[in-house]
Amino acid sequence: MTYSQTRWSLADLFPGFDSPELEAGFDKVEEQVTSFEGVRGKLKPEMDVEQFLDVIRASEETTRIVNKLYSFAGLSFAADTQDQAAQTLMGRIEQFAAEMQNRTLFFSLWWKDVDDQNAKRLMDAAGDYRYYLEEMRHFKPHTLSEPEEKILNLKNVTGASALNTLYDSITNRYVFKFEVNGEVKEMTAGELQTYRNSIDPDERARSYQEQFRAFSADGQILGQMYQALVRDWHNENVSLRKFPSAISARNLGNDIPDEAVNALLDVARKNVKLFQRYFKIKARQLGVVKLRRYDIYAPVAKAEKKFEFDAAAQMVFEAFGSFDPKIAELARRVFDQNHLDGEIRKGKDSGAFCWSVVPDMTPYVLLSYQGRARDVTTMAHELGHAIHAMLAEHHTTFTFHSSLPLAETASTFGEMMLTDKLLSEETDDAVRRDILFKQMDDAYATIMRQSYFAIFEKQAHEMIRNNASVDEISAAYFENLKEQFGDAVELSDEFKWEWISIPHIYHTPFYVYAYAFGQLLVFSLYQQFKIEGESFKPKYLKILSAGGSEAPAKILADAGIDIRSAKFWQGGFDVLEKLISELEKLK
Ligand SMILES: [Zn+2]
């Protein structure tokens, strides 16, 4: 069977925007929520197991329909962002889902309040719903009394949340001026940032300089906002909710033990020289003595080789099939059911993603396939996500979706399988270079850069509690960069303002390490696969088929992996070390 680059079909969800089936979906949810509200009075800690499970099943049924409605709107919008009907439906479903959520909120509040003994009795009988129920209760020890929670909620609206909105408002209205071909243009941040990948060294430098010009002009104000947000985080999470440290509050949300996060960040720091070695290779490749910070995402190779769409698909099947034929079969299913949109069209979302709706439906994949080697690896990546969801199809709607720390496992692993295949077959050095450098650029951006952000956040939170000024924080950030880049990269002074341009550290403190966690985890797994061969395969498939039905640490422990151990994380860096050695060998 040959596959062509076409648009997907959403017929498995709904026939169309004006279809009676779509309206019936909204009506059905409304009806079910009304009936769900009726159980409110029947919720009792000592309630009968079957009665309790009926409530959970009803809530799952509603979630399934909402997921389908939401997916139809979201996927239609991604397929054509200019489509008015899709835009309108998106707005409608978002509003609708929020209203329905508010009407059913009482359940999770009640559930968190149930005493431990009865909660255990109900969870023990809940089968695959157990982890979903357990996770809701994780925050119980850090939950305050109802009036206190209400005050926090109200004060957040005008406090932390308002500060974050102000941060967005200030930074989103920056207009950047940038000269291209002798003409000065006004640009958004997104447009400006594309010049970081320019072939022209001067454009790369000016792109960063213009961005930090705008941010540093407001440096003191944006820095003050950060100080206030950090104090707020500490006041709420450490002083009131009694988390042992600022980062612990985030770790619990990710359901990762503190020791595992510490081990990850320590090992990253120990391997800092690895990427410095990479940046030296990259400098040589670009024909400069030393890389400037502006150059780290500069393109190195101009590989002309193109891969036809069908040939790419067959390559992915082969790479997956050599691991396990079942995996290749699942990847084929996405194409055979016409759930993959690979076409390049105006107005289509320019990114790539995999979207899983409900456990028993083949996920949807969107790509804008351009035929470069990196487009083939992207195809493998997104199909990896789809396979992850399909392997977990026996779980409930609440538990089939992998949790954040494990979300990139199958995708990155799939990408590695394909990269290995490409590298083993490719004789053209330029193509090999393109593949390897892309892999390393991505690894830097997800592993080392994000780990050092997290390291900085820990330090900044500590400093602010000790009344550090904005300039002192900037100086600490610059030291953080110096440690990260060593003598391999030349840093210019304006990078001390980079931290105030990172929205994540304002909006979701300590979120960034999850990226490093996921990526490094896969490199470690891949290393184990290389060593163990066949005996690794069932363990790996078991990790994927667990979906989100257990805590990440438990799923991995069952496969013999201890995420608290430094040795495990080092295995991930060892894979990168091999890649760097490959690159050093290239002419
Ligand atoms: Zn991904």
Which residue is listed with tokens 């494990």? 406
Contact of 503 with 167, CB cutoff 8 Å: yes
152 C-alpha vs ligand 1 centroid, how far in Å? 35
pLDDT tens digits, residue range 110-144?
Answer: 999 999 999 999 999 999 999 999 999 998 889 88
Checking if the pLDDT of 172 tops 90, the result is no
Q: Which residues partner with 314 through β-bridges?
A: none
pLDDT tens digits, residue range 528-548?
Answer: 898 999 999 999 999 999 999
586 C-alpha vs ligand 1 centroid, how far in Å? 28
Average pLDDT over the chain, rounded to whole?
A: 93
Q: DSSP letter for 367, please.
A: -
The confidence score (pLDDT) of residue 122 equals: 97
Confidence of residue 587 (pLDDT cuts 50, 70, 90): low
173 C-alpha vs ligand 1 centroid, how far in Å? 30
The three-class DSSP label of residue 531 is helix
386 C-alpha vs ligand 1 centroid, how far in Å? 10
39 C-alpha vs ligand 1 centroid, how far in Å? 39
Burial (Cβ within 10 Å: 0-12, 13-18, ≥19) of residue 357: buried
What proportion of the chain, given as a percentage, has pLDDT over 70? 99
The confidence score (pLDDT) of residue 303 equals: 62
422 C-alpha vs ligand 1 centroid, how far in Å? 20
| CA–CA distance, 317 with 86 (Å, rounded to integer) | 33
Which residue is listed with tokens 């399909």? 390
| CA–CA distance, 84 with 14 (Å, rounded to integer) | 17
Checking if the pLDDT of 270 tops 90, the result is yes
pLDDT tens digits, residue range 405-424?
Answer: 899 899 999 999 999 898 88
| CA–CA distance, 140 with 456 (Å, rounded to integer) | 29
Question: Among 41-50, 98-107, 356-365, which stretch is predicted with the lowest mean pLDDT?
Answer: 98-107
Task: List, as ranges, residues with CB under 5 A of the ion ligand 1.
Answer: 411
79 C-alpha vs ligand 1 centroid, how far in Å? 18
352 C-alpha vs ligand 1 centroid, how far in Å? 9
Checking if the pLDDT of 145 tops 90, the result is no
103 C-alpha vs ligand 1 centroid, how far in Å? 33
The three-class DSSP label of residue 87 is helix
478 C-alpha vs ligand 1 centroid, how far in Å? 30
The confidence score (pLDDT) of residue 368 equals: 87
378 C-alpha vs ligand 1 centroid, how far in Å? 9
pLDDT tens digits, residue range 175-191?
Answer: 999 999 999 999 888 78
The confidence score (pLDDT) of residue 302 equals: 67
pLDDT tens digits, residue range 283-339?
Answer: 999 999 999 999 999 988 666 678 999 999 999 999 999 999 999 999 999 999 999
